[in-house]
Amino acid sequence: MSAVRRFVLLGVLALAVLPTPAEAGRRPFIWVWDTEIVPKGDVELEQWLWVKSRAPGVPERTSNYWVWWGPVFGLTQRLELAVPFQVLATRERTQLESFDADLRLRFNPRGDDSPWQGLLRVAYHHTIHTTQPPRLDANLVQSFETEGGLRLVLDLGAQVGLPALRGQEGPVRLLGTYAAGVSYPLIEDELRASLEAFGEIPLQGIPGGQHHFVGADVAWTFGRTWVTLGVMVGLTPLFPETPQFMPRLIWAVVL
Amino acid sequence: MGRGALILLLSLAAPLAAAQQGTVRGEVRITVQGPDGRPVLKADRSGVVVYLTGYTEPPPSGEVNMAQRNKAFQPSVVGVVAGQKVRFSNNDVVVHNVFSRSRAGKFDAGKNRPGEDYTETFKKTGLIDVYCDIHEQMVATLVVVPNRAFAVTGPDGRFVLEGVPPGTHPIFAVHRRDERSDVSRAEVTVKPGGEAVVTLELNETRADDKHLDKHGRQYTPRSDAY
C-alpha cells in the first residue's frame, strides 16, 4: 500500500472515531508553529498522524509513519506545555520512538489585541529505539493577522542533536529549519484554508542534503475539537533527498 | 495665513464644534405580562442599554471593568465602544472561566483564580453574551456600540446621551436577559446645541436563562463548593 493511501485510510479511521460535534483549528497549519495557545487551565488531547514518504535521491530510505499523541496543558495566559510521545512505524517494525517536553511561550498574554504576536518554542526530544540522538528544539514564531482574518506566520527554528546525552560519541548535530504560512478564514471561527512552506537545512554533523516542501491545509474547529489536515509536497526535482510527500492529520479534543 | 493665526482659529473652532453638539434625553418603558395576562408597566427598568448609530467615534483609552463577585458579574450589563478593552477581574473567592460564544466577540478567558484578570478587546459592534464555564448561573451582557453616545438605564428607566452631533440618528434600546434580546428602535433628530427627548418602548419576553458551556455542551451539575 502506498504511503498516501495508507495515510488516507488512517485519517478516515481517525475521523470516524472522533467525538461528536466538533469547533475551528487552533493551529491552521500542519508544519508551521503558530502563536495561539491553550486557554489557561484547559487541557487538550492532541494527536497527529503523519507520514514521510520515500525520496528519489535516497532509494534505500523507506516511508515512515508516525503517531504523535499527548496532552497539552494551558499553564498560564502565556505558556502551554505539551508532553507527547511518538510511535514510529516502517514496513519492518512499529516501536516507541520518542518522548517530548514541549514548552510554548507567548510574548503577549492571550487576549492581547495586537495584530503582531510572537512565541518562543523550546522542546526536549528524548529518543528511544532509534539511532537518532536526543535533541533540543527551539523555534521563534511571529504571526500577523489582519482585521479580515488573513493570517501570516513565520517560524524559524534550530534542532540541536546531542549524542552525548545517550553516551554516544559524535559531534553535536545542528539542523536549521524555516517554515512560513498564510491562512484565510473561509467560515469565521470555523474553517480555514492555508498554504505553507517548510525546509530543513543541515548545518553541522548531519549527513545528507536539504529538504524543502510546499503544501496546503484545511483546518476546522467544531465544539471541543479542532482538526487540521494537509499535505506537504517535496521540491524533489530541485532537492532529490527531499521526501515526495509529507501528509499530516492533527486533531485535538479539549478534555 | 501665519501659523499662529491658524492655531488661534483652530483653538476657537474646537469649543464652537463642541457647542454644536446636542443631547438626547429620554425614558425607556418596559411592558411585561401581568398575572392576569394583560400588559403592565414594569417597575424596575434598569439594565437597558440605549445607544445611537449612524456615526462612529474612537473608543475611550480607558478599560471597562466587569468583575466577578459572589458568583455574579458586576455590573452585569455594560456598554463599550468598538475597539475598547474590557477587563474581567476575578474578585471572588472561587475560580471562574469567563467566555462568550457570540459572533460579535468570541473569547475564552481561561480559568482565572481569585485576584487574576483577563483583558479582551471588542472590535465589532453587537451584543455579546458573557457567561462563566464553571457557574451556569453567571450571565452578563456587553453591548458594543459604534460611538460614545450610549447609556445604561437605572431603575427609573431614564437616560441622557451627551455629545451627539446634529442630525437624525437611529436610536436603540436593548434589554438582554437571555438568549433572546428585547430591542426597540426609533429615530431622533438633534439640532446644533439642542436637546431632543425620546421615549422608547420595550416588550419584555419571557426570560430563559438556559445556555450552553464554552464548548457548546450542556453544563455538568457541580457541587456548590466550586
Spatial contact of B112 and B95, defined as CB atoms under 8 Å apart: yes
User: Residue B11 pLDDT more than 90?
Assistant: no
Count of CB pairs separated by less than 8 Å, A with B: 48
| Best of A77, A79, A106, A221 to mutate (most B CBs within 10 Å, chain B) | A77
> Position A70: which residue type?
G
Is the pLDDT at A132 greater than 50, yes or no? Answer: yes
Q: Are B10 and B2 in contact (CB under 8 A)?
A: no
Q: Residues of B with CB below 8 A from A109's CB?
A: 119
User: Which one of B110, B118, B217 has the shortest CB-CB distance to A74?
Assistant: B110
Mean pLDDT of chain A: 88
Residue A18: pLDDT band with limits 50, 70, 90? very low
Which segment, A152-156, B3-7, B221-225, is predicted with the most confidence on average? A152-156
Residue A40: CB partners within 8 Å, gap ≥ 6? A74, A75, A76, A77, A110, B109, B110, B111, B112
| Among the partner residues B106, B111, B123, nearest to A41 by beta-carbon distance | B111
Lowest mean pLDDT, pick from B26-35, B47-56, B72-81:
B26-35
Nearest CA to CA, how far is B161 from chain A (Å)? 29
Would you kindly state where each structural domain of chain B is located, as residue ranges?
22-55+149-214, 58-145
Burial class from Cβ neighbours inside 10 Å (0-12, 13-18, 19+) for residue B126 reads middle
Residue of B179, B91, B171, B112 lying closest to B141 (CA atoms): B179
- Residue count (chain B): 226
Question: From edge to edge, which strands make up the β-sheet containing B84-90?
Answer: B72-74, B64-69, B84-90, B117-122
Half-sphere exposure of residue B84: CA atoms within 13 angstroms, side-chain side: 26
B119 contacts on A by Cβ (under 8 Å): 109, 111-112
| Homologous superfamily, domain B22-55+149-214 | Carboxypeptidase-like, regulatory domain (2.60.40.1120)
Task: Give yes or no on whether B22-55+149-214 and B58-145 have one common fold.
Answer: yes
At A255 the pLDDT is 84
Check CB contact under 8 Å for A110 and B118: yes
CATH superfamily of B58-145: Cupredoxins -  blue copper proteins (2.60.40.420)
Residue-level pLDDT at B91: 96
Tell me the nearest-neighbour CA distance from B110 into chain A, angstroms. 5
The complex's ipTM works out to 0.78
- Could you say which residues from 119 to 178 on chain A have a Cβ atom under 8 Å away from some Cβ of chain B? 147
* Model pLDDT for residues B148-181, shown as the tens digit of each residue: 999 999 999 999 999 999 999 999 998 876 555 6
Quick one: pLDDT at residue B7? 58
- The mean pLDDT of B81-102, rounded to a whole number, is 95
Average pLDDT, rounded, for chain B: 86
Query: Whole-angstrom Cα distance, residue B204 to residue A38?
Result: 39
Largest CA distance in chain B: 75
Determine whether the interchain pair B106/A189 forms a contact, defined as Cβ–Cβ distance below 8 Å.
yes
For residue A111, the chain B residues in CB contact (below 8 A) are 107, 109, 118-121
Which of B95, B120, B216 is opposite residue A23, by nearest beta carbon?
B216
Is the confidence at residue A14, as pLDDT, over 80?
A: no
Q: Domain ranges for chain A, please list them.
A: 3-254
| CB atoms A42 and B85 under 8 Å | no
pTM: 0.81
Q: How far apart are CA A24 and CA A228, in angstroms?
A: 9
> Per-residue pLDDT for B226 more than 70?
no
Which residue in the set B111, B120, B216 is minimally distant from A223, CB to CB? Answer: B216
What residues of chain B lie within 8 A of the CB of A74, using their CB?
110
Distance from CA of A225 to the nearest CA of B (A): 9
Q: Which among B120, B123, B217 has CB closest to A111?
A: B120
Distance CA A40, CA B112 (A): 7
> What pLDDT does B177 receive?
61
- Give the nearest partner residue to A40 out of B103, B112, B120, using CB atoms: B112
Is pLDDT at B223 greater than 80 in this prediction? no
Cβ within 8 Å, pair B215-A254: yes
Q: Convert the pLDDT of each residue in A66-107 to its tens digit.
A: 999 999 999 999 999 999 999 999 988 899 999 999 999 999
CATH number for the A3-254 domain, one of 2.40.160.40, 3.40.50.150, 3.30.2350.10, 3.20.20.70? 2.40.160.40
Beta-carbon separation of A113 and B97 below 8 A: no
DSSP B221: P
Identify the band that residue B108 occupies on the pLDDT scale cut at 50, 70 and 90.
very high
The pLDDT confidence band at residue A170, using thresholds 50, 70 and 90, is confident
Q: Cβ of B216 and A41 within 8 Å?
A: no
The predicted pLDDT at position A23 comes to 39
